């Protein structure tokens, strides 16, 4: 008779590992990343609320989070917040068009012309060392303290990163691609559209992201110094009224808008990267 099998000798059924949908896994990782990044701001907010409730400093010097939120709602409902934000974004937009256009022309000149790089690039490097605030007295003499002053000052902050990154992007285009274009007798627009632009896109867009951030920072400086409206002026207005809650609202708004602009550009860059892979 066959020997009875021992119960422990019977193989147990193998449990299949539970697989998570890749899309769900990506969303879970993003949620975990966001929650982790929110720890420090929440701790600072709790410390801020505790300091305000314990009156470590007078309310005029340390407004409570509730007062800041209330001021934000009042500014939004009155329209002052959106009106000043729209003016600031308009200034940044015009400055990006003007400074970005000049930067692309200069960067293309330095990238394609060896003579221009030898004769003009050293002078550009010297001028690029001047901060935006150093140009303001000279600009006031020539254009006054009106709107052109703001746009030109912010444009100067945009020109430098766009010029440098454009020149670098053109210099990094693989020479074999240019040789192939020469063999096929591409015209200059064809070379730019089919060879230079796809190859230089990552570096060019990196320069654009730097330019946007520099424009946003320069905007705050300019509006703090010489402006009667805009997000930066809200800080000046709050300081003049001795209402630091308005200053804090403007500071938080500046930080949030800067982050949103960078995230928006990151999404656009991702789309363009897909187009670049298809182009090649």
64 falls within a domain: no
Q: Rounded mean pLDDT of 49-53?
A: 85
CATH of the domain at 169: 1.10.3720.10
Q: What does the radius of gyration of the chain's CA atoms come to, in whole angstroms?
A: 28
- For the chain, give me the number of helices (H) and strands (E)? 13, 0
**63-76, pLDDT tens digit by residue?**
888 888 998 999 89
pLDDT at 276 over 60: no
What is the structure's pLDDT at 95? Answer: 93
What is the structure's pLDDT at 215? Answer: 92
Tokens of 219: 């905007």
18 falls within a domain: no
Q: Rounded mean pLDDT of 154-173?
A: 89
Planar angle of CA 176, 203, 132, nearest 5 degrees: 140
What is the structure's pLDDT at 242? Answer: 80
What is the structure's pLDDT at 146? Answer: 83
6 falls within a domain: no
Q: Range of 270's domain?
A: 79-279
| Average pLDDT along the chain | 82
**169-189, pLDDT tens digit by residue?**
888 877 777 777 777 777 777
Which has the closest alpha carbon to 148: 162, 136, 164?
A: 136
Count of domains in the chain? 1
pLDDT at 280 over 60: no
Three-state SS letters, the chain:
CCCCCCHHHCCCCCCCCCCCCHHHHHHHHHHHHHHHHCHHHHHHHHHHHHHHHCCCCCCCCCCCHHHHHHHHHHHHHHCHHHHHHHHHHHHHHHHHHHHHHHHHHHHHHHHHCHHHHHHCHHHHHHHHCCCHHHHHHHHHHHHCCCHHHHHHHHHHHHHHHHHHHHHHHHHCCCHHHHHHHHHCCCCHHHHHHHHHHHHHHHHHHHHHHHHHHHHHHHHHHHHHHCCCCCHHHHHHHHHHCCCHHHHHHHHHHHHHHHHHHHHHHHHHHHHHHHHHHHHC
CA-CA distance, 205 to 266, in Å (whole number)?
9
Compute CA 171 distance to the chain's CA centroid, rounded to the nearest angstrom: 24
Q: Rounded mean pLDDT of 76-100?
A: 91
pLDDT at 157 over 60: yes
31 falls within a domain: no
The answer to whether residues 78 and 68 touch, using CB atoms and an 8 Å cutoff, is no
What is the structure's pLDDT at 1? Answer: 46
> What share of the chain has pLDDT > 90, as a percent?
16
**110-120, pLDDT tens digit by residue?**
988 888 888 98
232 falls within a domain: yes
**201-245, pLDDT tens digit by residue?**
778 888 888 899 889 989 888 888 877 788 888 888 888 888 888
- How many of the other CB atoms lie within 10 Å of CB of 151? 22
């Amino acid at each position: 008779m066959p020997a009875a099998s021992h119960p422990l000798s019977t193989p147990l059924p193998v449990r299949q590992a539970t697989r998570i949908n890749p899309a769900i896994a990506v969303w879970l990782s993003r949620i975990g990343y966001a929650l982790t990044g929110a720890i420090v701001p929440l701790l600072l907010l709790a410390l801020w609320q505790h300091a305000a409730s314990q009156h470590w400093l007078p309310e005029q010097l340390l407004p409570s989070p509730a007062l800041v939120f209330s001021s934000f709602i009042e500014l939004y409902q009155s329209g002052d917040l959106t009106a000043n934000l729209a003016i600031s974004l308009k200034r940044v937009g015009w400055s990006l068009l003007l400074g970005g256009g000049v930067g692309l022309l200069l960067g293309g000149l330095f990238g394609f012309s060896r003579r221009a790089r030898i004769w003009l690039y050293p002078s550009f490097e010297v001028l690029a060392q001047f901060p935006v605030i150093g140009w303001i007295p000279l600009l006031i003499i020539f254009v006054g303290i009106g709107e052109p002053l703001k746009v030109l000052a912010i444009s100067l902050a945009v020109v430098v990163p766009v010029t440098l990154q454009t020149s670098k992007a053109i210099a990094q285009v693989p020479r074999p691609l240019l040789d192939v274009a020469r063999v096929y007798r591409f015209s200059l627009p064809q070379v730019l559209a089919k060879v230079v632009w796809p190859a230089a896109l990552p570096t060019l867009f990196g320069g654009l992201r730097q330019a946007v951030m520099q424009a946003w920072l320069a905007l705050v400086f300019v509006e703090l110094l010489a402006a009667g409206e805009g997000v930066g002026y809200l800080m000046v207005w709050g300081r003049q009224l001795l209402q630091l809650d308005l200053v804090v609202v403007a500071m938080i708004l500046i930080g949030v808008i800067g982050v949103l602009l960078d995230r928006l550009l990151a999404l656009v860059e991702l789309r363009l990267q897909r187009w670049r892979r298809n182009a090649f």
